Amino acid sequence: MDINEKKVPEVVVRRLPRYYRYLDELDREGKMRISSTALSKKMGVTASQIRQDFNYFGGFGQQGYGYNVKHLLTELKKLLGITKGYKVVIIGAGNLGHAIANYGGLKKRGFKLCGIFDSDKEKIGQKVGGIEISDISGAREFIAENNVDIAILTLPKNETEKVAEMLADSGIKGFWNFSYTELKSIDSVFVENVHLTDSLMTLSFKINQR
Amino acid sequence: MDINEKKVPEVVVRRLPRYYRYLDELDREGKMRISSTALSKKMGVTASQIRQDFNYFGGFGQQGYGYNVKHLLTELKKLLGITKGYKVVIIGAGNLGHAIANYGGLKKRGFKLCGIFDSDKEKIGQKVGGIEISDISGAREFIAENNVDIAILTLPKNETEKVAEMLADSGIKGFWNFSYTELKSIDSVFVENVHLTDSLMTLSFKINQR
């Protein structure tokens, strides 16, 4: 599978996890093939858009015969790094940190949780999802020594930038930021800011329009 | 403000909360006006796309002079139902339910949390964010009597459909579903399924492509 030289547009990148989820569902249901028309209906994207999306990654399948579900799923997993077993740590052992640590979806998508950090003395030493909470002052060293790929930031807003700066040159490759502050991408670290309430506002828009 | 007869495309609806967040930020910084070019840069969307988006809602401002930040923000708030004070309840008082109950962003965006429900006898009676956890068996009646608009579902996957069915005819208008199961929209209830790991996979795609 060759990735085209052209940069993949952000909007296409954001559709990949959805393709993955749908294909994973089809695979669990035992479906072997899916036509681009059927996939198009499920995704709410035109069949031609799907072909354009997949062309960034070499096409993925034969038109007319549809797509081979297992093959497409495997290719999507490779693209999304699900086969890489990326190591993650959680920074911030509050309610959200606990919820993410206990969420089976991380493991299912190939991510390996290997550390949880907090600054609260009362939390340090307690266990979450089988992992002991460590002092945040040791996070940078832990990340560097264990080649951790992604730090999940579930910190209060006012602590996030400071901690992100502290971790920036630890070798970390990405921040998954839940801290309701817009972290700017740092040179070597990709940032994905999660805005939970965006989807609540989308819902409330629809209710409001009815 | 007149909304065009044309149905607003989903992709436009999904940009509205982002417009709202950026405008809110500009307003906090004391900015009075923003050009469509500057807004375009911030949003990563072309200026012509922004004009097209806003045309669904009557335009919002004069080209050439740019947009009046306060006016645009006010119109977006109205559209998104932020000015409506929608009532919400949380169904499921686990870690995620706690995290959402304690999150200031709900209130900031005008949503009024007025109930939390769980089936766990040990949790019932405890307080979260100043609200007492009630028995889930009373949720349907509570929603009907208090005209609750949105139920936030933070339940285990295998309980979600059952509970959604139980609440479907309570007068509830929307489900904000965190339960990692794809709830289908019911006749009278809008559903917004949250897929947290989509953005983690987007991050991991980018790391993987480097």
Helix (H) or strand (E) holding B67: strand B67-68
- Residues of chain B contacting residue A81, judged by C-beta atoms under 8 Å apart: 201, 204-205, 207-208
A·B CB contacts under 8 A: 167
What distances in angstroms separate CA A196 from CA A42, A159, B103, B110, one per listed residue?
A: 24, 19, 10, 15
- The pTM score is 0.90
Identify the pLDDT of residue A21: 92
Identify the pLDDT of residue B2: 47
Pairing label, strands A190-193, A150-153? unpaired
Report, in this order, helix, strand and coil percent for chain A, each rounded to 5: 45, 20, 35
The percentage of residues in chain A with a pLDDT greater than 70, rounded to a whole number, is: 95
What region, left, alpha or beta, does residue A189 occupy, with left being phi > 0 and alpha being psi -120 to 50 degrees? beta
A10 pLDDT tier (thresholds 50, 70, 90): confident
Interface of B with A in 109-148 (CB under 8 A): 109, 111
Identify the pLDDT of residue B138: 97
Residue A65 distance to chain B (closest CA, Å): 28
Asked if residue B65 has pLDDT above 60, the reply is yes
B43 pLDDT tier (thresholds 50, 70, 90): confident
Residue A121 distance to chain B (closest CA, Å): 20
Asked if residue A189 has pLDDT above 60, the reply is yes
- Measured in degrees and rounded to the nearest 5, phi and psi for residue B191 equal -120, 135
Identify the pLDDT of residue A122: 96
- Residues of chain B contacting residue A111, judged by C-beta atoms under 8 Å apart: 200, 204
Q: Which residue has the tokens 């993987």?
A: B208
A4 pLDDT tier (thresholds 50, 70, 90): very low
Is this prediction's ipTM beyond 0.85? Answer: yes
Among B137, B93, B142, B96, residue whose Cα is nearest residue B116: B93
Whole-angstrom distance, CA of residue A129 vs CA of residue A101: 6
Among A194, A2, A170, residue whose Cα is nearest residue B202: A194
Asked if residue B3 has pLDDT above 80, the reply is no
Average pLDDT over residues B74-100: 95
Tokens linked to B110:
């005008």
B20 pLDDT tier (thresholds 50, 70, 90): very high
First to last CA, chain B: 46
Interface of A with B in 42-61 (CB under 8 A): 44
A64 pLDDT tier (thresholds 50, 70, 90): low
Helix, strand or coil, per DSSP, at residue B130:
coil
The string of pLDDT tens digits covering residues A123-141 is 999 999 899 999 999 999 9
- Nearest CB to A204 within list B80, B103, B207: B80
- Nearest CB to A18 within list B106, B111, B198: B198
Q: A119: buried, middle or exposed (CB in 10 Å: 19+, 13-18, 0-12)?
A: middle
Is B106's CB within 8 Å of A190's CB?
no
Is A81's CB within 8 Å of B201's CB?
yes
Residue B138 distance to chain A (closest CA, Å): 24
- Measured in degrees and rounded to the nearest 5, phi and psi for residue A127 equal -110, 140
Q: What is the DSSP secondary-structure string of B133-195?
A: EEEGGGHHHHHHHHT--EEEE---HHHHHHHHHHHTTTT--EEEE-SSS-PPPBTTBEEEE--
| C-alpha torsion sign, points B50, A52, A108, A150 | negative
A11 pLDDT tier (thresholds 50, 70, 90): confident
